[in-house]
């Protein structure tokens, strides 16, 4: 699977941006897609649309939608994940009052082959072996959408199983009360990118700040001479460990993508199947570019950097260069920062919405 490459390079201009800084990132978006941003801002004031985000787990679906909402209109654009929704329902069901609310909703809105009472019992018992039927997922997704009247919504994780792909065609009709344009957004992220993000993630045990020793270090780096190891030091000024607390790996992260393998394969199949659908507009977002031609398409600062460190006996030196990673076809690639992917999303959405 190779998606078309979106060119975000600005020819002949020398302005650069630090894309990890929210203020500069905002300026960057206007610099790269001012016209489309204005059109989308106008559009969402009176209209709404629905985007189904399809891509492997941990491909950045939440990050992209959040950034899109922030730049266009956070009041009018919302994002929800079907996985989070199911976790929230299973939590709410433990509360007797909320449980009644969910039961009442399902009595009205759910139709299916398994009694709603049985499904509630399965969710309550956190029985993960009972696969929640599509009919229930549909009723719950409909409930989430109803909670967000007149808003543009990015739905992450629907379709979730193969039998749900064709439902996405008729979803607009199923939710009935809205006549929004719907769009499929596909995200292509190499599995190695997902694996390395997990592998190098480091967390502050006090404030849970999450960084990456390879991809997003803290301001201060330490060196453990006995272990001959570099480590990140918490730089969250609100943390009681500010300036001293060592960030460590999160439990389970050492397994990398192994626990996600089945999910990643299914996500890939869902994406390939949905790509064959006719009649629904599609946008293609691509996280990685072949390293040998990347610079023809994007500016240097749009590439995700990788960091390494050297120790001279006194101080740590931080070195930075574009992150090099093999994509799923084995091609040496660079990975894009989230912002240029969002520029591509802005431009493509503006086009498919006919703005
Ligand atoms: Zn901390």
Q: What is the pTM of this model?
A: 0.91
* Model pLDDT, residue 1: 65
Confidence of residue 287 (pLDDT cuts 50, 70, 90): very high
Tell me the C-alpha distance between 337 and 20, whole Å: 9
Q: Give domain status of residue 161, yes or no.
A: no
pLDDT at 170 over 90: no
Tell me the C-alpha distance between 219 and 318, whole Å: 10
Tell me the C-alpha distance between 103 and 118, whole Å: 11
Query: Average pLDDT for residues 222-240, to the nearest whole number?
Result: 95
DSSP 175: T
* Model pLDDT, residue 352: 96
CA of 291 to the centre of ligand 1 (A): 35
CA-nearest of 132, 143, 318, 138 to 220 is 318
Q: Give domain status of residue 97, yes or no.
A: yes
CA of 22 to the centre of ligand 1 (A): 20
* Model pLDDT, residue 193: 96
Cα 338 to chain centroid distance, Å, stands at 9
Q: Give domain status of residue 246, yes or no.
A: no
Q: What is the mean pLDDT of the chain?
A: 91
Partners of 303 in the beta sheet?
Answer: 336
Enclosing domain of residue 134: 77-149
CA of 21 to the centre of ligand 1 (A): 19
Query: Average pLDDT for residues 167-179, to the nearest whole number?
Result: 67
CA of 246 to the centre of ligand 1 (A): 8
CA of 233 to the centre of ligand 1 (A): 8
Q: Which of 174-178, 253-257, 311-315, 333-337 has the lowest mean pLDDT?
A: 174-178
CA of 314 to the centre of ligand 1 (A): 24
CA of 202 to the centre of ligand 1 (A): 11
CA-nearest of 73, 61, 51 to 185 is 51
Q: Give domain status of residue 181, yes or no.
A: no
Give the dihedral sign, CA 74/153/98/157: negative
CA of 243 to the centre of ligand 1 (A): 9
- The answer to whether the beta carbons of residues 174 and 167 sit under 8 Å apart is yes
Confidence of residue 303 (pLDDT cuts 50, 70, 90): very high
Tens digits of residue pLDDT in 103-132: 999 988 888 888 888 888 888 877 666 678
* Model pLDDT, residue 239: 96
CA of 263 to the centre of ligand 1 (A): 31
CA of 203 to the centre of ligand 1 (A): 8
Query: What is the number of structural domains in the chain?
Result: 1
CA-nearest of 239, 231, 230, 237 to 205 is 239
DSSP for 229-273 reads EEEEE---TTSTTTTTPBPBPPTTGGGTTGGGHHHHHHHHHHHHH
Q: Give domain status of residue 92, yes or no.
A: yes
Tell me the C-alpha distance between 73 and 50, whole Å: 15
Query: Average pLDDT for residues 184-196, to the nearest whole number?
Result: 95
Q: Give domain status of residue 90, yes or no.
A: yes
- Phi, psi of 101, rounded to the nearest 5 degrees: -60, -45
CA-nearest of 66, 77, 79 to 43 is 77
CA of 250 to the centre of ligand 1 (A): 14
**Residue 237 structure tokens:** 């000024």
- Phi, psi of 329, rounded to the nearest 5 degrees: -95, 0
CA of 237 to the centre of ligand 1 (A): 8
* Model pLDDT, residue 176: 58
DSSP 149: T
Tens digits of residue pLDDT in 206-228: 999 999 999 999 999 999 999 99
Q: Give domain status of residue 104, yes or no.
A: yes
Contacts of 260 (CB under 8 A, 6+ apart): 57, 58, 194
CA of 205 to the centre of ligand 1 (A): 7
CA of 163 to the centre of ligand 1 (A): 43
CA of 307 to the centre of ligand 1 (A): 21
* Model pLDDT, residue 77: 96
CA of 87 to the centre of ligand 1 (A): 27
Q: Give domain status of residue 102, yes or no.
A: yes
* Model pLDDT, residue 14: 77
């Amino acid at each position: 699977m190779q998606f078309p490459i979106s060119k975000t390079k600005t020819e002949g201009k020398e302005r650069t941006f630090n894309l990890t800084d929210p203020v500069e990132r905002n300026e960057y978006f206007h610099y790269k897609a001012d016209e489309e941003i204005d059109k989308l801002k106008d559009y969402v004031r009176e209209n709404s649309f629905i985007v189904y985000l399809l891509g492997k787990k941990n491909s950045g679906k939440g990050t992209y939608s959040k950034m899109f909402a922030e730049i266009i209109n956070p009041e009018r654009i919302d994002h929800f994940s079907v996985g989070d929704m199911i976790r929230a329902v299973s939590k709410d069901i433990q509360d007797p009052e909320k449980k009644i609310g969910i039961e009442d909703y399902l009595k009205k809105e759910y139709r299916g082959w398994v009694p709603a009472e049985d499904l509630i019992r399965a969710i309550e018992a956190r029985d993960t072996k009972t696969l929640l039927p599509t009919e229930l997922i549909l009723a719950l997704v409909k409930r989430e959408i109803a909670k967000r009247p007149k808003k543009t919504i990015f739905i992450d994780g629907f379709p979730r199983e193969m039998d749900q792909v064709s439902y996405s065609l008729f979803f607009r009709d199923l939710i009935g009360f809205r006549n929004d344009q719907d769009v499929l957004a596909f995200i292509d992220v190499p599995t190695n990118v997902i694996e390395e993000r997990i592998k190098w993630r480091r967390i502050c045990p006090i404030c849970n700040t999450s960084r990456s020793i390879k991809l997003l270090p803290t301001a201060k780096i330490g060196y453990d001479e006995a272990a001959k190891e570099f480590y990140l030091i918490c730089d969250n000024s609100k943390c009681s460990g500010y300036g001293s607390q060592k960030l460590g790996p999160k439990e389970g992260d050492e397994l990398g993508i192994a626990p996600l393998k089945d999910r990643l394969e299914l996500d890939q199949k869902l994406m390939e199947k949905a790509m064959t659908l006719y009649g629904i507009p599609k946008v293609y977002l691509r996280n990685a570019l072949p390293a040998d031609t990347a610079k023809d398409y994007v500016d240097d600062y749009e590439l995700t950097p990788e960091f390494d460190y050297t120790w001279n006996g006194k101080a740590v030196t931080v070195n930075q260069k574009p992150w090099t990673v093999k994509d799923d076809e084995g091609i040496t690639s660079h990975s894009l920062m989230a912002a240029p992917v969002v520029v591509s999303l802005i431009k493509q959405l503006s086009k498919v919405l006919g703005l």
